[in-house]
Structure 1
Amino acid sequence: MDVIVRPTPSLQGEFGALSSKNYTTRYLLVAALSEGVSTIYHPAHSEDSDAIRRCIADLGAVLTEDDEKIVIQGFGRKPKDVKELNVGNAGAVLRFLMAVSALSPEVTFVNTYPDSLGKRPHDDLIVSLEQLGVKVEHNEGKLPITIRGGKPVGGRITVSGAVSSQFLSALLFLTPLLEEDSEIIVLDDLKSKVVVGQTLEVLEQAGIVVHAADDYMSFKVPGRQAYAAKTYTVQGDYPGSAAILAAAAVTKSDIKVHRLVEQSKQGERAIVDVLRMMEVPLTHKEGTVHVQGNGVLKAVEFDGDAATDAVLAMVAAAVFAEGTSRFYNVENLRYKECDRITDYLAELTRAGANVEERRDEIIVHGMPEGVEGGVTINAHYDHRVIMALSVVGLRARKPLLIKDAHHVAKSYPQYFDHLRALGANVEWVQ
């Protein structure tokens, strides 16, 4: 389905932030890797989190869910022998489960999104798994991928961090269950270190010991550990809220978003800091971000590596700022559901924005007067692109039609419902 976003001068209202996709995925995984019964309160519901629910159930976890919580009986270090797993379009789920499936005799991950996840490379994780004695069949590093494991062996493992931190996180989930102690050495630069911090936080909550170097470039992981069955509560999601907060910033607004913890380890909480740098009137206290936007924004420079999933929303706000903004150290945006630099900037240009790309930078020449709009946008099946482009549409002179906007459900199924509840002029069309 497509969505039409029409110019909307003002937004008003309040709601609780969506639950964090990243934390939900990690809590579901550690619960499945325990041998007891874990409870997760306020888990996220999206295509990604539903994908890991489906896959851990296929691997032998027993899930019982109501409106408030999900209860999981884990399978520990002995997943059920299954021949195929379908992770949909969820890259993190694929990579985490590629590592976990090394405990199984043979699992094939099928390719159901050839134009999105099917194009993304996983070579770096494949190389690391082969160091554990796991045999991997693959299509030049891409799906379909068959993991032949059963008895992975610990020891010294190297992994590249140049493309994604998810490869490292995958190894951190697996290695505590091996018989041997492991040492993980990160090669190249490590992208999105803050997300590794989330992984380590969840591992610690699950009773797992990992000795991490201060720079996250090496880890010592004792083997023969067991995941403890625990109770977890999922915090509000900054990546999804970033687009809502950006929308409030570019319009005349009075919006409150609750359940956004001030001291969260989510790097995307930087959206609050960046909007402050843009001189957007806001407060953040007691878990509530209150934006009273006036549509006036100043340009910024920002290192986007620590807040990868909020950069596109920041860029959307910068489209309307006074001056030239620069978002740097963002090359890993190229390896997401689409190339979030080239593809996204092409659509922004089509909408009338003045933007430039570098290999690892996005340059935005702000247009406080607004953009023209009046065009059809290809969102490249990417949920973050869809949300960010909708922010631009609110302040375009003519409506934007965003193709295939239903793919927003990958992380935030209620996104357009929430926007509409705040007064945004958006409409679904067949």
Structure 2
Amino acid sequence: MKAIVKPTQRLEGTINALSSKNYTTRYLLIGALADGTSTVRYPAHSEDSDAMRRCIRDLGAVLEEDEEQMTIRGFGRHPRDVKELDVGNAGAVLRFLMSVASFCPEVTFINRYPDSLGKRPHDDLIDSLRQMGVEVEHRDGKLPITIRGGKPRGGKITVSGNVSSQFLSSLLFVAPLLEEDSEITVLHDLKSKVIVGQTLEVIAQAGITIEASEDLMHYRIPGRQQYKPQNYVVQGDYPGSAAILAAAGVTNSDVRVLRLAEQSRQGERAVVDVLRAMGVDLTHDNDVVHVKGTQSLKAGEFDGDHFTDGVLAMVAAAVFAEGTSRFYNVENLRYKECDRITDFLAELRKAGAEVEERQSEIIVHGRPQGVPGGVEINAHYDHRVIMALTIVGLRSDKGLIINDAHHVAKSYPQYFDHLLSLGAQIELLQEEEH
């Protein structure tokens, strides 16, 4: 699908934030790891959460769902013996389930997206699983990956946090179910600590005990625990909403986004503060973020590690700010669906933005007068890139044509519908199947 994004003067209206992808995938997983039946209210529907639904079903969970909620009858520590799992293009789902698969005799995770997830490395988690007595067959740390488990062991386990926090989260989900007590030490640095906080929050809600050091680099986990079946409510999603809020921030707007909890543990909650620092007129009360955009923004310096999945949307807003903005501590963006620094900035330059990259920084020389646009650009199969490029297109002189825009469905299938409902000028062209 191509998205033809036209210059749009005004956005106005109210939308519900979509449900959090991160919380949905985690609640689905702990529902599956429980013995008994859990309910999840307002689960997200996106390619990632649907991949988790599909895989836990394959592993033996029984799922029933209506408009508002899902029930999950879990398999505990006894998943079904399956030969293959298809996680689609969902990196977090793959990584979480690699540890769960260690309870199975032999499972192969297939490679359906060789140009995206198929290029991402998982060596750090493979090393940890081997320490637990699990045999792993792989191609340079990449898919397809075969796990031969059955009896994973606890004990002393190390995991690198340099590339992704998902490797650590994966181990934290499974370690409480092992026969032995475990001690997990994170090596090097730990990316996206906030997201590890979400993992710990969800695990605790299921009645599991994990003792974490204050810096989240060390964990003591008693074995032989059981996830308790519970009722969970999924909160609104900040990473997806970041793009809507940024679009409102760069246009003349009066936009309300509902269901965004003020006390959320989602790191991307920080995008509200980032937009405020850029001079956007917004309020955040009673779980509603209300933006009155005036197109007048100012540059700033921001530590992107706190809001990893909101960085690209904020960079898009900074394209139109007065002055030079710097987003630092963002190297882990290079290891996502695409290299979100080099690839994204290449497309921004085509649109006429003035941007520079360092290994772990994005520098934006703002153009308050706008950018020319008028070009066709590539999304690199990446949902966050699509959302961010759309923001730039709305404020460009001649608009933008974004190729492969259907990949936005990975996390936010209703993204274009929501923008259209607010008055955005966007035309969606289904391309012919070849």
- Normalised by the length of structure 2, the TM-score is 0.99
Helix, strand or coil: the match of 1:283? strand
**Aligned-residue offset at 1:399:** 1.8
- SS state at 2:322 partner: coil
Superposed CA deviations along residues 39-77 of structure 1, whole A, max 9, x for unmatched, are 000000000000000000000000000001000000000
Tell me the residue number matched to 2:297.
297
Cα deviations by residue, 1:75-100 (Å, 9 ceiling, x for unpaired): 00000000000000000000000000
Matching residue of 2:251: 251
Counterpart position of 2:370: 370
Per the alignment, residue 179 of structure 1 pairs with 179
Q: What CA distance in whole angstroms lies between the structure 2 residues aligned with 1:201 and 1:180?
A: 23
SS in 1 for 2:49: helix
1:382 Cα offset (Å): 0.1
Q: CA deviation at 1:148?
A: 0.4
1:17 maps to 17
Q: Which residue of 1 aligns with 2:91?
A: 91
- The one-letter code matched in structure 2 to 1:233 is V
Q: What is the alpha-carbon distance in structure 2 between the residues aligned to residue 210 and residue 306 of structure 1?
A: 23
Q: Which residue of 2 aligns with 1:350?
A: 350
| d(CA) in 2 for partners of 1:266, 1:192 | 10
Q: Deviations over 1:288-343 (max 9, x none)?
A: 00000000001010000111000000000000000000000000000000000000
Q: After TM superposition, list the pairs within 5 Å mapping 1:26-41 onto structure 2.
A: 26-41=26-41
* Secondary structure of 2:15 counterpart: strand
Aligned position for 1:119: 119
In the alignment, which residue of structure 2 is the partner of 1:416?
416
4+ residue runs over 3 A deviation:
none
Equivalent residue letter for 1:152: P
CA RMSD of aligned residues (A): 0.3
Local SS of the residue matching 1:235:
coil
Aligned to 1:235: 235
Q: How far apart, CA to CA, are the structure 2 residues paired with 1:300 and 1:412? A: 28
Find the aligned partners of 2:266 and 2:284 in 1 and give their Cα distance.
15
Q: Deviations over 1:208-266 (max 9, x none)?
A: 10000000000001000000000000000000000000000000000000000001000
Letter aligned with residue 202 of structure 1: V
**DSSP 3-state at the match of 2:173:** helix
The match for 1:103 is 103
In structure 2, the partner of 1:60 is 60
Cα deviation per residue 1:389-415 (whole Å; 9 max; x = unaligned)? 000000100120000000000000000
Partner of 2:341: 341
Alpha-carbon distance in structure 2 between the residues aligned to 1:349 and 1:184: 43
Distance 2:363 2:263 in 1: 29
The aligned residue for residue 201 of structure 2 is: 201
Aligned partner of residue 371 in structure 1, secondary structure: coil
Residue 161 of structure 1: aligned partner = 161
Residue matched to 2:225: 225
Amino acid at match of 1:2: K
Question: Structure 1: which amino acid aligns with 2:165?
Answer: S
Q: Which amino acid aligns with 1:3?
A: A
Correspondence for 1:319: 319
1:162 partner letter: N
| Distance in 1 separating the partners of 2:401 and 2:116 | 21
Letter in 2 for 1:417: D
Distance in 2 (alpha carbons) for counterparts of 1:389 and 1:399: 10
Stretches of structure 2 that go unaligned for 5 or more consecutive residues are none
How far, CA to CA, are the matches of 1:106 and 1:285 in structure 2? Answer: 50
Instruction: Give the superposition deviation at 1:15.
Output: 1.1
- The residue type equivalent to 1:329 in the other structure is N
Q: Distance in 2 between matches of 1:393 and 1:424?
A: 10
Q: Distance in 2 between matches of 1:96 and 1:218?
A: 19
- 1 CA distance for matches of 2:123 and 2:300? 35
- One-letter amino acid of the counterpart of residue 132, structure 2: L
Task: Report SS of the residue matched to 1:357.
Answer: strand
Q: Does 1:407 align with 2:407?
A: yes
Residue aligned with 1:247, SS: helix
Distance 1:415 1:155 in 2: 44
SS of structure 2 residue aligned to 1:183: strand
Q: Does 1:278 align with 2:278?
A: yes
State the aligned residue count.
430
Structure 1, unaligned runs of 5 or more = none
Q: 2:275 corresponds to which letter in structure 1?
A: L
Query: Residue 395 of structure 2 aligns with which residue?
Result: 395
Structure 2: how far apart are the matches of 1:334 and 1:163?
9
| Aligned amino acid, residue 306 of structure 2 | A
TM-score (norm 1): 1.00
Give how far 1:24 is off. Answer: 0.1
Matched position secondary structure for 2:159:
strand
- What SS does the corresponding residue of 2:190 show, helix, strand or coil? coil
Question: Which whole-Å CA distance do the structure 1 matches of 2:2 and 2:183 have between them?
Answer: 48
Q: Secondary structure at 2:297's aligned position in 1?
A: coil
The one-letter code of the counterpart of 2:131 is: Q
Distance in 2 between the 1:177 and 1:150 partners?
13
Query: Residue 113 of structure 1 aligns to a residue in which SS?
Result: coil
